[in-house]
Structures are given as C-alpha cells and as structure tokens.
Structure 1
Amino acid sequence: MILGTLINAATVVLASLAGILAGSRLSEGTRNALMNVLGLPVLLIGITMALKTENVLVPTLSVVTGTVLGEFADIEGVLESFGRRVERRLGKGKFSEGFVAATLLYCVGPMAILGPIQEGLTGDISILLAKSMLDGIASIALASALGAGVVFSSLSILVYQGFFALMAVKISGMVTESIINEFTATGGLLIMGIGINLLEIKKLKVGNMLPALIVAPIIVYFLQVFPLSS
C-alpha cells in the first residue's frame, strides 16, 4: 500500500547517513553527473507510462489544459514562495536548515504526488523507485553539508506521500481502468519533463503541469458520457 514510500524514506535515511560519513569527499561534479545520468531512466519510465494511453488526445489535452491552468495559478512560484516562508520561520540553524531544505526538495514536486497516487491506484512503485534514487543522491550531497536534519526529512516523506497513497487506495474502487490508463499516461508526460530537466536539455516548469492530473480523469469521464463516435 505504501511500500514505495517506505523504500523512499529508508533510502533517504541510509543515503543521508552515508553523506554524513562521507563529508565533502564526494565532489560536486560527481554528484551533478549522477543526477544528470539519472535523467535517462526517469525519461524511460515516463515514456513507458505515456504509452499506456488508449487515446493520445487525452494526455495531450490534459497536459495543454493543465499547463495553462498551472501557469495562470503560477504553481511553481507559489511552491517556491512557500519554501522561502518555511525557511524564514524555522530559522537557519544547521539542523533545521537541513531538515527544511531536504523536506522541500523531496516533498514539493510532481513525483512526490504522482508516485504515491500511482501506487495507491495500481500498486506500481516504479515512479517512487526512481524518486528514491534521485533523493538518495541528493541526500548524500545535502547531509554531507547540512548534517542530521536531512535524515529526519524521511519523516516528512512518510507523512506527505503516505497521505496521497492512502487517499488513492480509498478512491481506487471508484476509478475505472480507462481513467487509470489516461492518468498514468498523463503522469508519464510529466515524468518525461522531469527527465528532460535532469538531462539539462531544457528547463520545463513541471510543477505548473500538475493540474493535468486532475484534467485527465475529467476528460475521460466526459468522453464516456459523450462519446465522439456512436
């Protein structure tokens, strides 16, 4: 039910401890290279998910409409502003700085929402496994600089992602196979965007695409009620 989230949290704990032990021996260039190369498997996961679609128009319209809504609401700007407010409120002590920085990095993003929902609906933990790899490398880097606060950000992952996973389990009985397939395909496009960002091909505001995950089920429902062909 929350296996992927448990793996994600455990990875952060272990990688953070490794980062504390390693100190600054792992160069920034090596960390950046590892993050870049992980863009390839993330991109592959996104493509695999996107191919689940039964009607390519659904994820296409969902991402386009969702991006328009996300740009209008400036979701990424709101998330960044929220992060700055949290940092100011909790202060700049080393422990709190590490905890806040890691929590925001691991919990504020599409994979932290899409991953647990995907697991709750289908049992598929592939997104959260990819996220665990990314968070693990980031944890080594953060913990080597900011210490034990990064370890405790695993609790934030458990609470935040666990909420979305359990919510998805509750509604899974009301969700049709077509809705799951199109939700998965739309989410795959967002995951592909993350892969493109990691590979530094182009900077995409994936956070502003998040409304697409709400638009996709609405479009599927509309097409079921009002089919385009008789």
Structure 2
Amino acid sequence: MIGPLLNSAAILIGSVAGAFVGSKIRENVKQNMPLVFGISSIGLGVAMTSKVVSLAPVVLALIVGSLFGEIVQLEAWIHRLSLKTKTILARLTPAEGELSQEEFMGRFVALLILFAMSATGIYGAMNEGMTGDTTLLVVKSILDLFTAMIFAASMGYIIAVLFIPQLLIQSAFFAASVLIIPLTTPDMLADFSACGGCIMLAVGLRICGIKQFPVGNMLPALWIVMPISWAWTALFV
C-alpha cells in the first residue's frame, strides 16, 4: 500500500512546511499559485472526462447523486465538521491568515475533495491494489505536495488534517479492490473516471474562484455511476 501512504505523507509534509514558512512566502505567490492548482485540476478533469464511454449514465449519476447530496445536505455536514476541526486547531496553531470565513471554508471543502475524494485517488488506490502499479498515486502525490504547501501558507496547519480522510478512503478502496475490480468492466471504470473528471472540473472552478459549485453534494455520484453504467449497457447497448 505504497501509493496511499506516499500520498498522505505528501499532504502532511506539504501542509506543515507551508504553514511553518507561510509568513516568508510572498503574497503574490500565495494569491496566484492557487489559480495554477485550480487550472491543473480543470485540466485533469478534462483528461478524465474524455475517457467517457457512455455519457448518459454519467450525466444521470451526476444528477441523481447531486440531488441526493442536496437533500441530505452533505456539504453542510462537511462544513460543520470542518468548522469544528478549525476551532480545535485554532487553539493550538497560529491564525489562518486574512481569509474570510466564507473563502476559507470554500477552499477547505474544495481541497478535501481534491485530496481525499477525487476519482484519481480512488481509482489509483484500486489500481495499485490489483496491479501493484503506483504511478497514478505518485503523480497525485507530487501535485498534492505543492498544493498543500501553498494553501497551508495562507490557511494554516488545518490543511494537514486532510491526510486523515485521504488515507482512510484510499486504504479502504485499496483493500476492497480485490472485490470491486472483478465486478467492473473497462467501460464502467471509464465512466467512473469521467464522472470524477466532471467533479474535478467543478473543484478547479471553485479553487479559482470562478464559481462556487457545491462539490460536496456532488460526491454521491461517484458511488452510483458504475452501477448505472452497468445497467445502461445491459439495457441499451
């Protein structure tokens, strides 16, 4: 399980380093580099979306999954948990720069999705579990290292706690890959990647401050896209 551990170490090290030297990093770097990471997320989302086999089940999964997320207010739960974490860490660490509460939470939730719940990380963990290939998670770790470093420079040590859900989620899919992968087809995995790519596009737009998509509420789409893809193929293809 090298990939998930490497990814968690990259987030932890990058966050601690960024928060520690935050005051020494120029303001233009703090302000402009998140835009680079945002456009990188958009580019990754486009690349993942281009793998789509059947667009209809991907769109259906996004609609149904997002509707469920809106009904249960999944992002609101994430916000409340994030605020509690921030409150606890605020007693132990310096203040998180001059970001407004709204901007802080918007970035924090986007980073939570990017680090812990992206299709890249989930598929990378599953792929390593079945094949032993860590390439995808190594690439993600490099991106996450610098992303965590720059965001922690303005948001503080709280970014470091994101390695916990990242490690838990990737480890779970790594362990379950032996059971999950045999039940999937290449088309299902491609549609899963495309669905994750759409969410990554939304994350990138949110990080860039272009549009505050409710990415937390979109996450259930990842849970249902492969069954919907299988059913669509069985019924209509």
Q: Indicate the TM-score class for this superposition, using the shorter chain for normalisation.
A: 0.7 to 0.9
Pairing of 1:33-72 with structure 2 (within 5 A): 33-72=32-71
Which residue is 1:174 aligned to?
A: 183
In the alignment, is the contact (CA less than 8 A) between 1:13 and 1:154 conserved in 2?
Answer: yes
> Does 2:116 correspond to 1:112?
yes
Alpha-carbon spacing, 1:83–1:142, altered in 2? closer, same or farther (3 Å)? closer
Q: State the alpha-carbon separation in 1 of the partners of residues 8 and 182 from structure 2.
A: 27
Q: Tell me, which stretches of 5 or more residues in structure 1 are unaligned?
A: none
RMSD after superposition:
3.2
Q: Is the deviation greater in 156-165 or in 37-46?
A: 156-165
Alpha-carbon spacing, 1:210–1:127, altered in 2? closer, same or farther (3 Å)? farther
Percent same amino acid at aligned positions? Answer: 21
Q: How far is 1:212 from its partner?
A: 1.0
In the alignment, is the contact (CA less than 8 A) between 1:9 and 1:154 conserved in 2?
Answer: yes
Alpha-carbon spacing, 1:160–1:176, altered in 2? closer, same or farther (3 Å)? closer
Alpha-carbon spacing, 1:154–1:53, altered in 2? closer, same or farther (3 Å)? closer
Q: 2:91 aligns with which of 90, 93, 96?
A: 93
Q: State the alpha-carbon separation in 1 of the partners of residues 194 and 201 from structure 2.
A: 10
Q: State the alpha-carbon separation in 1 of the partners of residues 93 and 165 from structure 2.
A: 15
Alpha-carbon spacing, 1:94–1:29, altered in 2? closer, same or farther (3 Å)? farther
Q: Letter of the 2:226 partner, please give it.
A: P
Pairing of 1:138-217 with structure 2 (within 5 A): 138-143=151-156, 146=157, 154=163, 157-217=166-226
Q: Letter of the 1:188 partner, please give it.
A: G
Which residue is 1:133 aligned to?
A: 146
How many corresponding residue pairs? 218
Q: Tell me, which stretches of 5 or more residues in structure 2 are unaligned?
A: 97-103, 129-135
Q: State the alpha-carbon separation in 2 of the partners of residues 210 and 202 from structure 1.
A: 17
In the alignment, is the contact (CA less than 8 A) between 1:87 and 1:97 conserved in 2?
Answer: no
Alpha-carbon spacing, 1:171–1:107, altered in 2? closer, same or farther (3 Å)? farther
Q: How far is 1:47 from its partner?
A: 0.5
Q: Is the deviation greater in 163-172 or in 205-214?
A: 163-172
> Does 2:35 correspond to 1:18?
no
Q: How far is 1:38 from its partner?
A: 1.4
In the alignment, is the contact (CA less than 8 A) between 1:9 and 1:155 conserved in 2?
Answer: yes
In the alignment, is the contact (CA less than 8 A) between 2:48 and 2:193 conserved in 1?
Answer: yes
Q: State the alpha-carbon separation in 2 of the partners of residues 78 and 132 from structure 1.
A: 26
Corresponding residue SS for 1:63 = helix
In the alignment, is the contact (CA less than 8 A) between 1:79 and 1:108 conserved in 2?
Answer: no
Which residue is 2:126 aligned to?
A: 121
Q: State the alpha-carbon separation in 2 of the partners of residues 130 and 31 from structure 1.
A: 16
In the TM superposition, structure 1's runs of 4+ consecutive aligned residues that sit over 4 Å from their partners are: 95-98, 104-107, 126-129, 149-157
In the alignment, is the contact (CA less than 8 A) between 2:202 and 2:215 conserved in 1?
Answer: yes
TM-score (normalised: structure 1): 0.77
Q: How far is 1:181 from its partner?
A: 0.8
